[in-house]
Structure 1
């Protein structure tokens, strides 16, 4: 769900009702169901026999089996009809991380999530599954096989991540087994796959502009990239295993492909699969980082006169040049998680889905 700043057209946009013969335990709402992850979530839930509501700012697809609601995440009046009568809510709504709108991040990720919690409680929802991020424990330095025991980042890589920390804390603190309201958080990392609106399109755009020629660091830093179907699988497993006496209550879980890959190898496989050249020149990590800091400082100093948005930022340098991959052992033990799609198959399926963006030689 990409929360826009424009005022949405509120209310239901279809007249379909949740299938009455579906038991309440199989009735759910996907908040942000029109987004990249949300659409895949809806498709897999339908395939598993769930009755599905979608709540979002916009309706991006048609399906007669889905009951759509449009509205503002911060409005209980808008949200209540979408979660009434369901057992489980999947909350995967978030502004795009690339946005520079700090107010929007805080409003949607934190204030909107607080509204989700209160509205779900009042509507009698039993389970709330949050899409968080593994970056909530990433300070910008190496994380190798990081577990959920790592503390929240004291210096988050950006303001978006800071609000994701606040969001996750609010959801996990709200878990109340005695009150029959159970919560858990899924922490994916580097989501990609067909219909991705961020990673692959941005990568291709940069390649077309000649901005994908350099490797930051030695190119050996391992990173988790997670295929979207595996992320959805983790969410659904969490919902199905979450119960009053389970170890999932009020806890967060890393969900990845469980197969870390060198950052630049992954990008190169996507680029070469679409007929673009892979990066080949190397820049030492600290040279790139300090250069990015200088560019960011320059943009800040010039902001009263001109708005500059450097593509070369300290955050992006840190993401591209450090190790950051995470252990899935806790999810394996608690919910029996195993990736459904291997990295090789995931890359192949993603490249095939973006053939329309390939370079014509």
Structure 2
């Protein structure tokens, strides 16, 4: 079997490349920046001819995305929606039999605590961020393309971390290195994480799952944000002071920071409204469907997975 992995330089993409190779797949890769990966082909998914990427592949694993808590809605739409539409069409034209999409549980977020969410849980009428909104649109497009010629599936992996993570743990470590960590709503929000290898396994298994379906993927453990920061501080040897911030205050401060960054044309602020919701409101996922349909079983516990973040 031959696979194309987009976003192959990212945390999930790299883990998926290793997982596929270990299971006998031949792999072709692409990413925004040139990297030393098997079968690498440089390509801009928004503008380039994608025929060379998909020619002769049996499955496309689409991990590429603009994943951030803040930014231009146009950039999110181009990267997360337009690129997905173009890749789907190119894969169909090439006769690719499977298309597997890396979606996100962010589309469940509604600003409230939500527990044990199954894949059919109600989604908010309006997404809380351009990222969640465009990933939701892209997921719908992918699943709507499922037919007898191309099996289309998706996974919603929660908070991926591990080696090559450039988002979750590095940001938390950067804050801790300053000697403090904000505890939004007391740090009591319940969060389930997903080690990169568990997410990659879930994505590979989804290639053989029933078409038109999406599955939640986590590592099967739930922790409070406070407990996660304690573990990170222990592994990193950080001595940090907890700063308690009420949820509403944090949300207002994040909105102010985003507006200021927008006016000045600066980069993503340290605190965004998406981050406040993610760290200040509980969200846990039900992964029983992945167990049943895919035979998915988490393999990496948080204490083990965190260790590689500090290697």
Q: If the length of structure 1 is used for normalisation, what is the TM-score?
A: 0.81
Q: Offset of 1:67 from its aligned partner?
A: 1.3
Whole-angstrom distance in 2 between the partners of 1:233 and 1:308: 33
Q: Offset of 1:197 from its aligned partner?
A: 1.5
- Say if 1:215 and 1:279, in contact at 8 Å, map to a contact too: no
Correspondence for 1:198? 167
Residues 156/277 of structure 1: CA separation in 2 closer, same or farther (3 Å cut): farther
Whole-angstrom distance in 1 between the partners of 2:100 and 2:72: 25
Whole-angstrom distance in 2 between the partners of 1:181 and 1:102: 30
Q: In the alignment, does 2:154 pair up with 1:185? A: yes
Q: Offset of 1:191 from its aligned partner?
A: 0.4
Unaligned runs of 5+ in 1: 1-25, 243-247, 354-361
Whole-angstrom distance in 2 between the partners of 1:164 and 1:221: 23
Deviations 1:185-229 (A, max 9, x none): 11001100012112222222222234x333111322211111000
Correspondence for 1:69? 41
Whole-angstrom distance in 1 between the partners of 2:88 and 2:170: 33
Q: In the alignment, does 2:65 pair up with 1:94? A: yes
Whole-angstrom distance in 1 between the partners of 2:261 and 2:75: 21
Residues 76/121 of structure 1: CA separation in 2 closer, same or farther (3 Å cut): farther
Q: Offset of 1:99 from its aligned partner?
A: 5.4
Correspondence for 1:292? 254
Whole-angstrom distance in 2 between the partners of 1:295 and 1:34: 30
Which of 266, 277, 295 aligns to 2:228? It is 266
Correspondence for 2:302? 343
Listed as ranges, the matches of 1:166-177 within 5 Å are: 166-177=137-148
Q: Offset of 1:131 from its aligned partner?
A: 0.3
Q: In the alignment, does 2:199 pair up with 1:231? A: yes
Deviations 1:246-303 (A, max 9, x none): xx21111100011111122112311331111244232222332334344445656xx1
- Say if 2:175 and 2:181, in contact at 8 Å, map to a contact too: no
- Say if 1:268 and 1:278, in contact at 8 Å, map to a contact too: no
Q: Offset of 1:308 from its aligned partner?
A: 7.7
Whole-angstrom distance in 1 between the partners of 2:56 and 2:132: 32
Correspondence for 1:208? 177
Which deviates more from structure 2 when the two are superposed, residues 276-285 or residues 40-49?
276-285
Secondary structure of 2:39's aligned partner: strand
Residues 58/280 of structure 1: CA separation in 2 closer, same or farther (3 Å cut): closer
- Say if 1:225 and 1:256, in contact at 8 Å, map to a contact too: yes
Report how many residues are paired: 311
- Say if 1:76 and 1:119, in contact at 8 Å, map to a contact too: no
Bigger relative contact order, structure 1 or 2 (CA pairs below 8 A, ≥6 apart): 2
Correspondence for 2:186? 218
Q: In the alignment, does 2:157 pair up with 1:157? A: no
Whole-angstrom distance in 2 between the partners of 1:299 and 1:89: 36
What is the alpha-carbon root mean square deviation over aligned residues? Answer: 2.0
Correspondence for 1:254? 216
Residues 306/89 of structure 1: CA separation in 2 closer, same or farther (3 Å cut): closer
Deviant stretches of 4+, over 4 Å: 294-300, 305-309
Q: Offset of 1:118 from its aligned partner?
A: 0.5
- Say if 2:117 and 2:286, in contact at 8 Å, map to a contact too: yes
- Say if 2:109 and 2:277, in contact at 8 Å, map to a contact too: no
Unaligned runs of 5+ in 2: none
Correspondence for 1:329? 288
Whole-angstrom distance in 1 between the partners of 2:265 and 2:64: 32
